[in-house]
Amino acid sequence: MTNVEGRLHLGKTQINLVFRSICTTFAPIKTNKVMDKKTNETLLKNVEQLSKLTEQEVKMMPAIEAPLPSVEQVKQIVALAKNIIFPDFFNKRQSDETIRSYYIGVHMEELYGLLVKQIAHGLQFCEDCEVTTSKAKVYAEAEKLALEFINELPEIKRLLYTDAQAMFDNDPAAPNYGEVIFCYPVMNAMTHYRIAHKLHELKVPVIPRIITEQAHSKTGIDIHPGATIGEYFAIDHGTGVVIGETCIIGNHVTLYQGVTLGAKSFKYDENGNVLNVPRHPIIEDNVTVYSNASILGRITIGHDSVIGGNIWVTHDVPPYSRIQQSKAVEGSFDGGLGI
């Protein structure tokens, strides 16, 4: 019996037991009304059908029979990290350093516990990891990774405050830092990204992508946790920005809404499987990319360059360049010419 067949057989046994319990639950609901009888029959029929494990379902699930990551608890991890990184903005402001330290300590302890649990659940998706051979090894690895992440929080905080500074400096509509930190989509997106990127560097499966996709769904800014982004990074407005997995972005880079830093094409192995190789742009220091520009492929945009709006760039750009659209040709037409 194969692993899939074994899991399907086990699943059917469990389903039969659960289904009998459901039938017992529904059984007392007796009525003379035809609609109620039909409702019960329809519910029971679909419960039975949807409870059967399919081969596709088994294929996509981790082999280990354990709880999967909780999207809500991952969201709580980000909220706790924000309370620690921006304690005066997302928690009650404390002027006394001792009291401030107490609250940060409470949040830190809760953050550590959630991290251990969710990292352990995420490790199920690492099929080649030796630690997944036992629950004790999984939790030992999760504890180690959680502590390594905690050690990175001061650096994450430093980077996020440079992002806030960059956004403030680049937007004349920003009257103060508070408005940037509270209101600007880029700060929400970058907080999620900076947290997720560190977990990605620690090779934690699944959890980093859940974190960045939470920001994506809320802000419209899609940053893969594998991307490398330097300090003093700003995205004005933000909606529609896409930053691919293998992007490398330097310091003091500013993007505007709708910018895509994407792949031009994919490479495949001899079996037709897509290869995860560097395929996204390298953006050097002090580059500005204006709205709806698409920079595609493993190309380099040289430092101190400006890429204009609505540009499609698929070739290297040397430093100090100014790339912009050609001006529209203006002219008049007589006698119906040009129609």
Task: Give pLDDT tens digits for 176-215.
Answer: 999 999 999 999 999 999 999 999 999 999 999 999 999 9
Beta strands of the chain (E only): which ranges?
222-223, 228-229, 234-236, 242-243, 248-249, 254-256, 260-262, 282-283, 288-289, 294-296, 300-301, 306-307, 312-313, 322-323
Indicate the SS3 state at residue 192.
Answer: helix
pLDDT digits (tens, 9 = 90+) for 74-117: 999 999 999 999 998 987 777 788 888 999 999 999 999 999 99
Residue 16 has pLDDT above 70, yes or no: no
For 135, other C-beta atoms within 10 Å of its C-beta total 11
Task: Dump pLDDT digits (tens) for 270-293.
Answer: 999 999 999 999 999 999 999 999
Please report the pLDDT score of residue 133 as a whole number: 73
- Please list the residues that pair with 254 across neighbouring strands: 234, 288
| 134 has pLDDT over 70 | yes
Rounded to 10 degrees, the C-alpha dihedral 249/253/259/261 comes to: -10
Task: Give the residue from 231, 195, 237 showing the smallest Cα distance to 212.
Answer: 195
